[in-house]
Amino acid sequence: MAIKRIGVMTGGGDCPGLNPVIRAIVLAAHARGWEVLGIEDATHGLIDLDYRSPHGNRTITVRDVVGILQRGGTILGTSNKSDPWNFVVEKDGEETTIDVSATAVENYHKLGLDALISIGGDGSMKIAQKFCDLGLKIVGVPKTIDQDVAATDTTFGFQTAVQCATDALDRLHDTAESHDRVMLLEVMGRDAGHIALHAALAGDAHICLIPEIPYRVAPLVEKIKSRKANGHPYSIVVVAEGARTVAGEATYADKVIGEMPKLFGAAQKVCLALEPHLKLDVRSTTLGYLQRGGSPVQFDRILGTRYGVAAVEAVEAGKFGRMVSLRNHEITTVPIADAIERQRLVEPQGQLVHAARSVGISFGDE
């Protein structure tokens, strides 16, 4: 079947590199004479054709993508609440979820789409798979700032986020050394500690706490005291947001903040846990949304561009139900189903953790 018109949408949290993907799709599609329809705010533009955000369901021309290669975010808008099978709506002042998948499928046809490229994470790929099962022609592009999709070697946004965290650590070093302080930095990573591990290696951290390696407070205190005894009365600690203590170990923080735990981040908890044991100021900073935005670093611009071109070629080749993927520096495709299945976590026995330990980084486990 000759392709004439494709849709493209971005789902889940925004991530540096989304615009490069969109740009490459538009350029490669136009070179083939295809029209590209931007679906707005993840699936919102598919679910409700009258939905009007500033991003708008609209035809994306070559002129529309001039200058977006270097911009963070996504010109199509995105959303974390976009599952058509569990679509959040307000009813009598209460939030509830309904199934609007049939409408979405209907609108896909109404919009005259010959195919749809869905750029998104785990959640978006699950939705894409369900759509495929209902006959939609979808090619996936993986998006996870945490680099935790096992079906591809790496994803755009990750290098930008690690660079952002590394820059932050460089800054914290100045204050830590001037004031003889323990400085903690909380970075993204609920399930996977890749950002924290890479940032710790690149940002000269002394301690790195990640979900994959539960920590105890005692080794942390020991590490910091030992550094002080060796003439370095300051320490830098990177904490993934999903960092956790070994099972059963309650920290001082757990007791203090018992009532309002969800308002406290992982770094704040470590901060509260450490302070009673140290005669040093301990301060924490949460990098938060700063990691998501920003102009993508060159690596992510290039990877996004390659993914976009490959997605168009996959559409052309009729490889629906598949997701583009980077394997050993070459782009290929894998079944979307594979992408959903397996998460990539930090291997506690892997080379990177080993390298980190070799330069003296403690994971709080020994």
Q: Rule CB under 8 A: which of 172-231 touch a copy of itself?
A: 172-175, 177-180, 183, 198-199, 201-204, 231
Burial of 45 (0-12, 13-18, 19+ CB in 10 A): buried
Is 148 among the catalytic positions?
no
Closest to a copy of itself by CB, 1 vs 260, is 260
Q: Which of 159, 245, 325, 333 binds a copy of itself (CB under 8 A)?
A: 159
Considering only residues 107 to 146 of the shown chain, the ones binding a copy of itself according to CB under 8 A are none
User: How many Cα atoms sit within 13 Å of 258 on the Cβ side?
Assistant: 4
Q: Which of 3, 128, 196, 297 binds a copy of itself (CB under 8 A)?
A: 297
Q: How far is the CB of 102 from a copy of itself (least distance, A)?
A: 26
Q: How far is the CB of 248 from a copy of itself (least distance, A)?
A: 26
Burial readout 299-325 (b: 16 or more C-beta within 10 A, e: otherwise): ebbbbbbbbbbbbbbbbbeebbbbbbb
Should residue 324 be labelled a site residue for a copy of itself when binding is judged by CB under 8 A?
Answer: no
* Beta carbons within 10 angstroms of residue 77's beta carbon: 20
Q: Which of 105, 278, 331, 337 binds a copy of itself (CB under 8 A)?
A: 331
Should residue 347 be labelled a site residue for a copy of itself when binding is judged by CB under 8 A?
Answer: no
Closest to a copy of itself by CB, 39 vs 132, is 39
Closest to a copy of itself by CB, 132 vs 207, is 207
Should residue 349 be labelled a site residue for a copy of itself when binding is judged by CB under 8 A?
Answer: no
Q: How far is the CB of 214 from a copy of itself (least distance, A)?
A: 24
Closest to a copy of itself by CB, 26 vs 132, is 26
Q: Which of 294, 316, 319, 335 binds a copy of itself (CB under 8 A)?
A: 294
Should residue 252 be labelled a site residue for a copy of itself when binding is judged by CB under 8 A?
Answer: no
Catalytic residue among 41, 122, 146, 300: 146
Considering only residues 58 to 87 of the shown chain, the ones binding a copy of itself according to CB under 8 A are 63, 66-67, 69-74, 77-80
Q: Which of 24, 139, 220, 253 binds a copy of itself (CB under 8 A)?
A: 24
Closest to a copy of itself by CB, 27 vs 337, is 27
Should residue 352 be labelled a site residue for a copy of itself when binding is judged by CB under 8 A?
Answer: yes
Active site members: 146
